[in-house]
Amino acid sequence: MLGDVISFLNDALVQPFAGILLFRFHAVWLQAPMRNPIGEFVMALTDFVVLRVRRFVPRVWGMDTASLLLAFMVELAYLGMFLWIQGYAFDAFSLAGLLAWTAVKLLKISIYLLIASLVIEAVLSWVSPHTPLAPMLFAVNRPFVQPLRRRIPPVGNVDLSVLLLLLICQLILIVPIAGLEQAALRLL
Would you list the domain boundaries of the chain? 2-187
89 pLDDT more than 80: no
**Residue 23 above 90 pLDDT?**
yes
Task: Decide if 75 contacts 102 (C-beta within 8 A).
Answer: yes
Contact 20, 38 (CB under 8 A): no
Alpha helix positions (H), 86-160: 95-127, 134-151
What is the pTM assigned to this prediction? 0.93
Residue 129 above 90 pLDDT? no
Mean pLDDT of the chain: 93
pLDDT for the residue 75: 97
Q: Report phi then psi at 155, rounded to 5.
A: -110, 110
Q: Residue 157: is its pLDDT beyond 90?
A: no
* Residues ≥6 apart with Cβ < 8 Å to 88: 188
User: Comparing 188 with 115, which gets the higher pLDDT?
Assistant: 115
Asked if the model's pLDDT at residue 90 lies above 80, the reply is no
Neighbours of 151 (CB within 10 A): 8
* Residue among 103, 96, 98 at smallest CA distance from 88: 98
